[in-house]
Amino acid sequence: MFALALLQTALQLPNMSATIQADFSGASTWRVSVSNNWDVLGPFPIHAREQHFLSPSFPLNLSQSIDFEAKWPSAYADNGVVGWTQASSDGNGNVAVSFPEIRWTSLRATEGWAALQHHSVLRTSITVSPPQHGIESASTPRLLVSLAQGSFFTLRPTSNLDGSIPRWYTGNVYGMDAAPAQSIDFPVAPSVSGPTTYDVFVSGDYELRLFGDPAARNSEVPELQVSLQVEISEPEHRLILQGSHNVIPDFVDGWAFGRALGVGLRSSEGWWTVTNISVAPEFASALEFKLLHETRLAPTQTRIVPLHLTQNGPIVSEILELLITATSGDSSIEISVKLPVRQYDLWQQDTYSPLHATFFYATSMPTAFLVKPPASENGDKIFPPILAFHGAGVDVINMPFWVEAVPRQKNSWVIAPAGRTAWGLDWHGPSTKEAWGAVDALHDILEARSAWHPWRTEKNTRVLLIGHSNGGQGTWYAAGRFPDKIIGAIPAAGYIKSQSYVPLVQSRSAHFVDPALRAILETSLTPDDNDLFLSNLVDTTILAIHGGDDENVPVWHTRDLVGVLKAWRPDANVTYQEDKGKPHWYPDTIFDNDSVQRFLDSTLEQSFVSELNDIKSFTLTVAIPSDSGSLHGFHIDSLLIPGRLGRLTVEVNEGKVFVKTINIKAFSIAHEPDVLLAGKASIVVDGQDFDVTALRTQSAKHLLRKESQWEVVSRAAFSSTGRLLNILSSSTPIAIVIPDEPTVSENLAARRLAHDLDLYHKLDAYILHASEATSNDSNFSEGHLIVLGGKSNAFGAALLKTEKTAFSLHKEQLKLRGQAIDKQAAALFLHPHPANSSSLVLFMYSDSETGLERASRLFPIRTGITVPDWVIVGNEADVKGAGGVIGAGVWGHEWAWNEAVSSF
């Protein structure tokens, strides 16, 4: 946690912010310079992620001129108003912003960490100069902008505003590596005869998880640190290698530890399609590469080209040479690629190295993870692996300290997944999905080569979970959602949930939003609230660890989680270990100690013993059925009222199994709990008896509520909705569908969205025109879709006319339940997929430029953005945050209107 500020201090890590240095020397090229002078307006109270609802320039309206002498209301300032102040960068684009005149100590005394979070607006300028020797091309250049640790930024002319709408680009707010720069079109073309100056506005949002408690640097004043780097992108029609995005497995005794490779490419200009891949002749006898699918890049887009490796013999080279063929219209180019290879000898009992392994996440996304091999071969038992979740800001692939902190085991592999990126999605959604994929991938890698069979893992193996900080929270999360996949857990220094880490009490939106509507919005946070799911862990062996003087995640979080778990069952097998006097991270001993090793040895050994005969009672809690697994074989398939918690309680008593349900429409019983049902006369569901023998002999064990009665059916209704964030968990690359003749805003929105998916999650996306999406050649049928734009998107219009949800299109007007939606508003809503019932469509609908901008900011690229299945946001959100929400809700069964969890 505290990402860059505290992590770098505690671990002495180098600055992880991705920067791009401009080249100012060329007299024959365009040049750009960034001013060292910054204007700063703030601070304004805000809670984490609230800036996604508010205008990033709040309280300013950037379509108008700015009065730098004006004052603005702020509850943080003496006399209740703030004005503009000044700051200076260090000459390299790095600027520190603080407000020492604010009495932070007084605010903190009553509001704690929540008072330190705040919003500010930063302004500087850039100057663009044409080539000194004349213009060589008629094309206007672009800017490549990297903003580290700022939320959003925009470029604006210094004059002649004409009511123009700012286009907001996301910053690299987490300061992650492998972050491609944003490619920016000028709002007004620069002069070809002299310098042109533009304003740059930045939404500067201080979040505790990013910048940490200022007390860690012996200060009471929170300090925002932002880095802005700008360079010119000449209008060249070419593809550029993006080495930061390459994915390469290590080689062991000359053999690849994984069959997935990826080559990063960026389109400088134009549409490009990678059509072929070949290997250099000297490798042809041993290696064969296959392009998994043709990969099309939109202008300025960065993608990872997926390659499947087939190996016929070992190689000793430390370089792989490939040739990529790409086309653009009638043009064709070949790009030579040299990939560095790390070669290792087979691990031994006394010698080993952590290994980079690879697999294809979501069918075609090359993904790397780190493994530590066991010291010994398998004996008569194959022990489960240890799945290790890193903390926030830790790039596990390039920072081996995390996997090194987990002690090597005699018989168990240690698997350290990346979680998509150093921050991922807090180990939720695609991050968790990737972690399970890494476990399966290790099995496949070891199974594929006979020399590695002595160390193989079981197929569909359970795991022992371990994690620190954000990974500790992720351990509570994954264990609580998939308890049957877990044999035990060691969460260290984990926080309960985002709202407990830094409360939302300083919310601006709360001053305006209907509390009932706010509750509906916050249902999108429920699936991540770890404390609500602790009933699922009463039969899981847990060792919960926390440093007694943790300056990052307060120690009370683990204490409270353990207390809540024991409220569900006082004799739950959970041990709390508080390491007196220890800070947040103490790598030498946090896991490498006798108590942890005893826990590991005991829990791994006990994984071979079935304890179902000893089960007397348990309660399974679920928020979104598709996001959770089973507990003792019982799985909740569907809820009576989606958007609310569902609970299923099982009690074994007097030769019967009693099941009581709360808000459950359907549940199933897997084959595995036959031991639990064996010898029982009946299973009683909400007072209704079912013969156990008959139930056990049926291949399908689904029970569905019809009216007030339960019936055994072959399959149950399945709900995959609950919140917009589910769009990130696609089974294939995400398709972004734009109109055939998109506006400039629609084009830019699609490019920005593809960039954000890559930056925050390394999720692959491709952009299609509406006619391509409806053609017979379209190949998007399996994965999730995003439909951008309004009535001019023919693909989206056709879907809406099927009226599969309460949203419809009549006479080119979007309506909800027959009521017209303001054309200036933005509507984001999930919709059934036209070809695959298990996939989703997300509409980002607006017929106005302002609405599309608002929709783009609300795309749930981060955790904590309160967007359920559908939300409509109007202009007032710029000033009132969620108080500008016109309506929101969660869909019911089969996409029906859900009156209980809807407001419109």
Tell me the mean pLDDT in the region 555-561: 98
In this structure, of 86-100, 151-165, 540-554, the range with the lowest mean pLDDT score is 151-165
Tell me the mean pLDDT in the region 748-760: 97
Distance CA 180, CA 90 (A): 23
Q: Which CATH number fits domain 724-903: 3.10.580.10, 3.90.110.10, 3.30.379.10, 3.90.960.10?
A: 3.30.379.10
pLDDT of residue 136: 59
In this structure, of 109-113, 137-141, 895-899, the range with the lowest mean pLDDT score is 137-141
Whether this model's pTM surpasses 0.75: yes
Phi, psi of 825 (to 5 degrees): -80, 165
Tell me the mean pLDDT in the region 66-89: 97
Taking 90 as the threshold, does the pLDDT of residue 699 lie above it?
no
pLDDT of residue 3: 44
Taking 50 as the threshold, does the pLDDT of residue 21 lie above it?
no
pLDDT of residue 780: 66
pLDDT tens, position by position, 278-308: 999 999 999 999 999 999 999 999 999 999 9
Instruction: Show Cβ contacts of residue 124 under 8 Å, excluding neighbours closer than 6 positions.
Output: 34, 35, 37, 38, 39, 89, 95, 199, 200, 202, 228
pLDDT of residue 721: 84
Distance CA 197, CA 193 (A): 13
Tell me the mean pLDDT in the region 218-228: 96
Angle, to 10 degrees, between the axis of helix 744-761 and the axis of helix 849-858? 10
pLDDT of residue 20: 32
Instruction: Show Cβ contacts of residue 188 under 8 Å, excluding neighbours closer than 6 positions.
Output: 157, 160, 196
Looking at every residue in the chain, the average pLDDT score rounds to: 92
Instruction: Show Cβ contacts of residue 736 under 8 Å, excluding neighbours closer than 6 positions.
Output: 750, 753, 754, 765, 766, 767, 768, 785, 786, 788
- Say if residues 501 and 48 touch (Cβ distance below 8 Å): no
Task: Give residue 406's pLDDT band: very low, low, confident or very high (50, 70, 90).
Answer: very high
pLDDT of residue 779: 63
Taking 50 as the threshold, does the pLDDT of residue 261 lie above it?
yes
Tell me the mean pLDDT in the region 24-45: 86
Indicate the CATH number for domain 247-345: 2.60.40.10
Taking 80 as the threshold, does the pLDDT of residue 211 lie above it?
yes
pLDDT tens, position by position, 338-374: 999 999 999 999 999 999 999 999 999 999 999 999 9
pLDDT of residue 654: 81
pLDDT tens, position by position, 172-203: 999 998 899 999 999 999 999 999 999 999 99
pLDDT of residue 7: 39
Q: Which long-range contacts (CB under 8 A, 24 or more apart) does 812-819 make?
A: 814/790, 814/845, 814/847, 816/872, 816/887, 816/904, 817/897, 817/904, 819/904
Domain ranges of the chain: 3-235, 247-345, 612-713, 724-903
pLDDT tens, position by position, 718-737: 766 899 999 999 999 999 99
Kindly state the percentage of the chain with pLDDT values over 90.
85
In this structure, of 131-140, 222-231, 430-439, 587-596, the range with the lowest mean pLDDT score is 131-140
